[in-house]
Chain A
Amino acid sequence: MSFIHLIGFGLKVGHLLLMLCYSFLTVISLNSFINDSQMKPNKSRKIWVKFLEIFSSKTSKIHHYYQYIGSAKFRKTWWRKLLILWIAFGTILALWIFWYLRSEALEKRKETLANMCDERARMLQDQFNVSMNHVQAMSILISTFHHGKNPSAIDQETFAKYTERTAFERPLTSGVAYAVRVLDSEREQFEKQQGWTIKKMTPVNKDKYNPEELEPSPVQPEYAPVIFAQDTVAHVISLDMLTGKEDRENVLRARALGKGVLTAPLALIKSNRLGVILTFAVYKRDLPPNATPEERIEATDGYLGGVFDIESLVEKLLQQLASKQTIYVNVFDTTNISNPISMYGIDVLDTGLQHISPLNFGDPSRKHEMRCRFKQKQPWQILAISASFGIFVITLLVGHIFHATVNRITKVEDDYKKMLDLKKRAEEADVAKSEFLANVSHEIRTPMTGVLGMLDTLMDTNLDVTQQDHVRIAQASGKALVSLINAVLDKAKIESGTIELEAVRFNLWEILDDVLSLFSGKSQKKEIELAAYISAKVPETLIGDPGRFRQIITNLVGNSMKFTKKGHIFVTVHLLEEVMKSIDAEPEPSSNDTLSGLPVADRNRSWEGFRPAGQIVCPPESITLIISVEDTGVGIPLDAQPRIFTPYMQVGPSIYHGGTGIGLSISKYLVNLMNGEIGFDSVPQIGSTFTFTAVFSNPKEQQINGQSMSEFCNMQAVVVDPRPIRAEVSRCHIQQLGMHVEIVSSLTSMLTMLTNGSQTVHFVLIEEEVWDQDLSNSVEFSYKLRNLNQEISPKLFLLSNSISNGPHQNNKPTVITKPLRISMLAASLQRAMGDNKSNSSNGEVPKLSLSKLLIGRKILVVDDNNVNLLVAAGALKKYGADVVCADNGRKAIALLKPPHLFDACFMDIQMPEMDGFEATKKIREIEHSVNFRIKNGSLSLQDYADISNWHVPILAMTADVIQATHERCLRSGMDGYVSKPFEANQLYQEVSRFFL
């Protein structure tokens, strides 16, 4: 039972330990799970976390608790103490369990030994009693048949036979003998009757034993010669029992007591083995139980003795019990307690445990006991050792886990602190970087505006078509550069989330023309076919943010341009519904039916991830465009594809391609702002297709491209191109000019069409490829074309990708270099038609130079430095302005009160008493209050020249052109700043903002 209890206890302890381990693990894993799940929300993980949360609600409380415990150092020592305590507890527990189990086992062993010993003792005693009873019975037999009958019914022979046959009844006796009481007076007669003399008992060796040699018994008052004996002890016949010391004592005691008495263990005659002799007295008559010893002695007839060979007997007994091997059994006669006589058993080394069982052989004067010992020493306590060792190991393990946990927590905390520090530093660095970028960008933007302004002026001078185109390209490139710089600024804005979209009316064609113009130089140099196609269903003008829209397309085309060496880049614009319908309707276009004939990435797959059209919720007047930019470049490596929209991510080292790597991430952000999506499909070595959607509003009335329309309206053009897509691109451009377009696939069919057709054809546009294919045929064609019998012979154009025209040909028609753009196409056609209308219309009065801007303007210059004042005034006067000077802020405020007399004010920033910022703030305050009161009606509008919103342009004059100053200028209500001393360009730029 106790063992089961122990197991139960062990299980409980184990469970407790497990729970402890579990809670520690939970603390760790919960942390890591939470961290993980923040980064990567995963369904199964979330379930795990919930599970853990439920299970460890208590643990987490502890977890929270220890977060509040003082410093890490304190906690560490605390943990250490706990750890030591825990290990000490575990060790004590293990020792205790060992001791407990061991004592249990010992107890059990003791019990077993006692059981065994008692059992043996009892059996021995029982058998002895049985033997004794039988011996007693025999005494009755002798009394009855020997003494009771005359002549005796028993002689030696009968006795021997009888005893022999009843020996099984007396298992412990090795033999019985009967000695008769013979008084000295009767000796002679007795000896005569028996035929032998009574002999004296002398201990002799077994070998030498010869009864004949024994001396006759000396004369004594009485004798007890043995007359009957069992065969085993036949040698004792005729021996006088009273002559043996032990026997005499025994005989005397037996007849006095009337009970069986035992001798002390003695060496038996002849066999010389250790034995005891049991003696019973045989009386002449039945004696009452309370007879006195004297009466008994007087009535004694003889003595019956049984020899008990203890050694062999015990052995027999143990053999019967068959477990002799496990224990040693010793039997002692302890009548004399100080000197017990060993009756059986060998002296063995003390094996520790001993059990003593008392033996009662029916003789009260003699005491016997049985001592039992285990043969083997107590075996090793495997269970106790292993259990306690196990507990110790578990303790150590738990301690280790505990220690590791604490260490880990400390480490994680340290790391966390380190990370925080690093994060802080990284953020600081990032802020510094952003500031630096913003500053640099701003500084670049300033001169760029000058460049762009000058290009603008250049545009207005009288330029021929090529020059105009060049200027346009320069301008577009400049704008692109500015937009690139803006991109860097945008990035900062995106990071702070302050970017906003405009909503203005813009012309889609112009945007695409701009983008194509920007890249036309590159595409011509690389001989890449660059084209844009706008579906006829897309309205020409839209409302949205043209700048951002252009930014996206420019970015995508720019990327394509970087990575494309041959083939084409193709921008297509469709309505989303149109595309969604066509996906189902149209079969996959054959792979060679592309702009350049090279295979491309599957466009449809690039918008696979987009929301279905129906799900996009937009106002009814909105239009969703889907724009694809397809190229035949190197494509994006598969491993880089998932990261493509990550900021600053570039495929391969940027030195190959340049760029900042933020374009796509900005584009993605902008597309999202336009409620659109962006996606791509890319096959390495084949090309990439980027597709995005954008939502615009549809203006109610469409603007009509009046000029081009009117000029080419209803004219007829024919495009000769065997490739349907390319022809379609050409057609859409020409159609945009208001012309009717036909497409034919070869020169021959063109000719047949011309000869058969009734309508007049004004322009024939032939792909250079077709022209170069068969030059003789082409020459013949142009000849035929010229001699056609028509009012106006059609004008011939070649559409070419590159500027280099190859071998010079006399008959080669005018070349239009692709990419096709409306403005350029119109200009080329106009030039071919020979009218210079376009030139005259473009050749307006050139835009105003600085002096035109400033002439007659009334300007207030404020500067505390007289020299500066004079110089500034002089400069402005030079441009024809009417200048008034003021040498401090107060005067300026006094002069600048609505209604303003001045068109603008240039103000120094750093002035004593009141600086430029403060003065401007004051002026703006006054303006505000006036404006407010006009609106209120408390001031009449007439007094203020019918202007309800007064705002005089104030420009700061400063020598420091750093960003901070600029921003401060704007904050103080200034409209801009010019550097001091004046620079014509910058001055122009700033002034033009107000006076144009």
Chain B
Amino acid sequence: MASVPQLQRQLIEYTASLYDEKYLDDQFLQLQKLQDESNPEFVVEVVSLFFEDSEKLLNNLATALQQKSVDYKQVDSHVHQFKGSSSSIGAQRVTNVCVHFRNYCEEKNLDGCLQCLQQVKHEYILVRNKLEALFRLEQQILQAGGSIPMME
């Protein structure tokens, strides 16, 4: 088992890489700032809610786009939801894809939508994996008795 400082360094580097690769943006930082003693599990709470929501939305989107006559209005509202929640947690790559997705919706471009659905799924799984990894690291630090270092 690695030592606490090592883990802490690892966490910082990992977080930094997430920002660098634009998986996350400032909003995630803001989110982290909102977490304090009175609300110690805030980030995890929000992010797991996001995962839950997202999976539901992705399912909805997949079924909506498989319909014979696609209800683009509904698809759009799903994507809007997805965009809102992703931007709330700062998953900016997901948000960006959502923006494209909505454009295709407006154009009623089925191929574009399907392509975007794949992309957004992909991005979502990526960011989920990254965030899960991040939380695991944090858990490890906490279990090792260390504190989570704050990013500047």
Which A residues fall within an 8 A CB radius of B? 863-868, 870-872, 874-875, 877-878, 908, 910, 912, 959, 980-982
Contact = CB atoms under 8 A, between A and B. Distances in A.
Q: 7 closest Cβ contacts across the A-B interface? A: A867-B85, A871-B88, A865-B84, A874-B34, A868-B88, A867-B50, A867-B88
B113 interface: no
A959 B87 contact: yes
B52 to A, nearest CB: 8
Contact of B88 (A910, A912, A981): A981
B113 to A, nearest CB: 19
Interface stretch (B9-17, B39-47, B121-129, B135-143): B39-47
B30 A910 contact: no
B49 interface: yes
Given A868-B84, A874-B31, A912 B89 contact: no
Given A864-B81, A865-B53, A959-B84, 4 more contacts: A865-B84, A870-B45, A874-B31, A912-B77
Nearest to B56: A866
Nearest to B35: A874
A866 B88 CA distance: 10
A872 B84 CA distance: 12
Contacts of A870: 45-46, 49, 88
26 contacts: A864-B81, A865-B81, A865-B84, A865-B85, A865-B88, A866-B49, A866-B53, A867-B49, A867-B50, A867-B85, A868-B88, A870-B45, A870-B88, A871-B31, A871-B34, A871-B88, A874-B42, A875-B30, A910-B77, A910-B80, A912-B77, A959-B87, A980-B84, A980-B87, A981-B87, A981-B88
Interface in B79-101: 80-81, 84-89
A281 to B, nearest CB: 142
B20 to A, nearest CB: 21
A877 B39 contact: yes
B119 interface: no
Nearest to A908: B84
A908 B83 CA distance: 14
A912 B30 CA distance: 27
Interface in B103-151: none
A493 to B, nearest CB: 34
Nearest to A872: B88
Most buried by B among A863, A871, A877: A871
Nearest to A871: B88
B27 interface: yes
Contacts of B87: 959, 980-981
Contacts of A908: 84
A874 B53 contact: no
A943 B42 CA distance: 39
A910 B76 CA distance: 11
A6 B85 CA distance: 103
Nearest to B36: A878
Contacts of A877: 34, 38-39
A874 B39 contact: yes
B30 A981 contact: yes
Nearest to B81: A865
Interface in B33-78: 33-34, 36, 38-39, 42, 45-46, 49-50, 53, 77
Contacts of A912: 77
Contacts, number: 59
A875 B34 contact: yes
Given A874-B34, A877-B39, A959-B87, A867 B53 contact: yes
B84 A878 contact: no
A275 to B, nearest CB: 129
Contacts of A865: 53, 81, 84-85, 88
A865 B84 CA distance: 7
Contacts of A871: 31, 34, 46, 88-89
A842 B50 CA distance: 48
A874 B45 CA distance: 11
Nearest to B26: A981
Contacts of B80: 910
B84 A867 contact: yes
B49 A981 contact: no
Contacts of A982: 30
A863 B80 CA distance: 12
A874 B38 CA distance: 11
Contacts of B36: 878
B27 A981 contact: yes
Contacts of B50: 867
Nearest to B80: A910
Nearest to B38: A877
Most buried by B among A864, A867, A868, A872: A867
A217 B39 CA distance: 186
A872 B129 CA distance: 25
A877 B46 CA distance: 14
Nearest to B74: A912
A868 to B, nearest CB: 5
B46 to A, nearest CB: 5
A360 B84 CA distance: 138
A95 to B, nearest CB: 78
A866 B39 CA distance: 17
Contacts of B77: 910, 912
B73 to A, nearest CB: 10
Contacts of B49: 866-867, 870
Most buried by B among A864, A874, A877, A912: A874
Most buried by A among B39, B77, B85, B86: B85
Nearest to A876: B34
A915 to B, nearest CB: 11
Contacts of A872: 88
A273 B51 CA distance: 155
B60 to A, nearest CB: 12
A982 to B, nearest CB: 8
Contacts of B39: 874, 877
A956 to B, nearest CB: 14
A396 B16 CA distance: 94
Contacts of A980: 84, 87-88
A961 to B, nearest CB: 14
Contacts of A867: 46, 49-50, 53, 84-86, 88-89
Contacts of B89: 867, 871
B81 to A, nearest CB: 5
A358 B130 CA distance: 145
B71 to A, nearest CB: 13
B3 to A, nearest CB: 32
Contacts of A959: 84, 87
Nearest to A912: B77
A866 to B, nearest CB: 5
A910 B84 CA distance: 10
B39 to A, nearest CB: 7
A530 to B, nearest CB: 44
Contacts of A981: 27, 30, 87-88
Nearest to A865: B84
A872 B34 CA distance: 10
A916 B131 CA distance: 32
A746 B82 CA distance: 79
A874 B84 contact: no
B80 to A, nearest CB: 6
Most buried by B among A863, A870, A872, A875: A870
A867 B77 CA distance: 15
Contacts of A866: 49, 53, 85
